[in-house]
Amino acid sequence: MIVPAKRKYVESADAVVEGELYDIDSGMGGSFTVKFMGVDPHGMSHWLNVNEQSSFCGQEYHFPASEIPEKVYTLIPENPNF
């Protein structure tokens, strides 16, 4: 089901919490829910796709922690009754 939602981007790399769920663009017009796994000593953030309905579930994503504020968000449903 597609639920209209607005994106609320995280403010900084320090604002994400290890083990918490966030969203990133899927690259296919939607989003994936991902779990933040942490930042390695080289400054790369590590994320795990937890969308069980997706064939991408279990896929890992890595990008520089400095890019977190432009790539990571939470979805706020436009209609809270969904």
Residue 82 within a domain: no
Rounded to two decimals, the pTM is 0.86
Residue 66 within a domain: yes
Q: Tell me how far apart the alpha carbons of residues 18 and 44 are, in angstroms, rounded to a whole number.
A: 14
The domain containing residue 63 runs over which residues? Answer: 5-77
CATH of the domain at 14: 2.30.30
How does pLDDT run across 30-78, given as a tens digit for each residue? 889 999 999 999 999 999 999 888 888 999 999 999 999 999 999 988 8
Residue 43 within a domain: yes
Residue 14 within a domain: yes
Cα 34-56-33 angle, rounded to 5 deg: 20
Q: Tell me how far apart the alpha carbons of residues 45 and 48 are, in angstroms, rounded to a whole number.
A: 10
* Overall domain count for the chain: 1
Q: Tell me how far apart the alpha carbons of residues 79 and 82 are, in angstroms, rounded to a whole number.
A: 6
Q: What are the backbone dihedrals phi and psi of residue 66, each rounded to the nearest 5 degrees, phi first?
A: -65, -20
